[in-house]
Structures are given as structure tokens and as C-alpha cells.
Amino acid sequence: MTSQPQITSPLEPVPQLDLSAQYAAIGAEIRTAVERVMASQQFVLGREGAALEDEIAKLCGVAHGVGVASGTDALILALRACGVQPGDEVLPKPVFVDIRPDTYNIDPSEFGRRVTPRTRAIIIVHLYGLAADMDPILAFAKAHKLPVIEDNAQAIGASYKGRRTGSLGDVACVSFYPTKNLGAYGDAGMVVTNSAELAGRIRTLRNHGQSEKYRSTEPGWNSRLDEIQAAILRVKLRHLSNWQRARQAHAAEYNRLFSQTPGVMPPLAPEG
């Protein structure tokens, strides 16, 4: 009996994200940053975290940044700081609002039929680096006196009509999960805002509800961004603009290659 020849595909899989290659390029910088934290023996709410808060706030075009333990915690604390309580409704979480098929982002025309007297906030997700259409969203929110929380986990550094995502709503949430454009080596997140009041509230909530050391005035969380992750993120932040330009170049090449294949082209970001 003749054995059948084994057929192998000539195509090599293309990894969506190669963190090993990224580390090979910046490993020496990362190790120096981590060693700096180890030498300081300051691991929570220290200089690295404070510096990162300032740097991310500047990147997003806002006045305040508050480091937290994850992007999920950023959303939870932002909701609580905006006054959302159990039983309240939030658009589109958990009241779902449909997307626009041309951008995959939330459709502002859906808001009118989704809002109820129990609605307390609107969460806007900027998806795949493409900002949601914020002008009608902000106008609706203002008319209904609803705070706008930006989920900026996938669009840090993106812009909408000349303004950075993260600066458009009342407060914005950033995830530094390792697969994000700016990723830590573990869980990490941040809340950014122009409101000193909201920033102060979130600083209290992230640290056991403490208004001062060892004095808790309300139930809070243990959601502090640790110094090692902050130091790593500060290194990676220096490379972010170059990495984003490389992603854009790669995306343009994929668009060229797939331009004749129907049904696979992603939406393109508008100018500005």
C-alpha cells in the first residue's frame, strides 16, 4: 500500500501581535526601568506611577490621570465616580445600542429610543483606533444631562476633529493589557479627565476609599497601578508613535492587497 504524500500549506501563519519581537527591541530599556524600581523599593503609588499619570494625561489632552489596576477597574471606578448606582442603566452597557455598519462604532441615532428615566451615563467605545462620531453623542448627552465615559482602550493617541480621544467626554478609561497598542507586562489601566473633582474621587475609590492615609470614608477598591508596570509603560510610551506609524503602514499594505476582495475591507478613519 502506497502512503499518500503529506500536503503542507505553503502559507506561514502571520501572528497578530509579536510581543517577543517587541521585547527584543526594547529589552535593555525595560530591564533598566525595572531595576530602577527595585532599587527604590517603592512599589505602590510612587514616582513612576505619578509620572506615567502625567504623561498619559498629556497624550490624551487632559489635565488629570489616575492609574488603576486594569482597564476594567477604570470603567467601574469611572462609573461610580459619575454617580452610577446598582439598578441604573448605562448606554450601551448593559442597555445595548447598535453600531453603524460603516465604522462598527456606536450609532448615535439609536440613543433616542434607548434612553429611559433610569439612564445615568453613556459609555462610548472607540473601536480599532477609530473614534466614534462624538459631536451628536455629546449633543445628546448634554441635552439629557448624562455624563459621557469614553472607553479608550483601543484608541489611545487617536483623534476626532483635531482633539484626542480621551479628552472628548467627561472621563475616559484606558487599558494597558499586554495586547493593547500601549501594553504593560500584566494588568494595568488608567482613568483620564479634565475634572479635578472626578480625578480626586477616583483616587479615593482606587485606594480603599481612603481620603487620607488609614482613614477610609467609604467603601472602595484595592486598584492601584504598581510601580513596575508604570515604569515599563513609561519606556513603551516613548516608542508608541513609531509603533503606531508602523501599524498604519502595515494596515495600508493589507488594504492594498485585499482591495479586490469584497467583504474584508475595514472602515477607514476620516481625516482629522
Return the pLDDT at 64. Answer: 98
Whether the pLDDT of residue 3 is over 80: the answer is no
pLDDT digits over 34-77, tens only? 999 999 999 999 999 999 999 999 999 999 999 999 999 999 99
* Mean of pLDDT over the chain: 91
pTM across the whole model: 0.87
Return the pLDDT at 183. Answer: 97
3-state DSSP of the chain: CCCCCCCCCCCCCCCCCCHHHHHHHHHHHHHHHHHHHHHHCCCECCHHHHHHHHHHHHHHCCCEEEEECCHHHHHHHHHHHCCCCCCCEEECCCCCCCECCCCCCECHHHHHHHCCCCEEEEEEECECCECCCHHHHHHHHHHCCCCEEEECCCCCCCEECCEECCCCCCEEEEECCCCCCCCCCCCCEEEEECCHHHHHHHHHHHECCEEECCEECCCCCECCCEHHHHHHHHHHHCCHHHHHHHHHHHHHHHHHHHCCCCCCCCCCCCCC
Percent of residues, the chain, with pLDDT higher than 70 = 93
Return the pLDDT at 52. Answer: 98
pLDDT digits over 223-271, tens only? 999 999 999 999 999 999 999 999 889 888 988 888 888 777 666 666 5
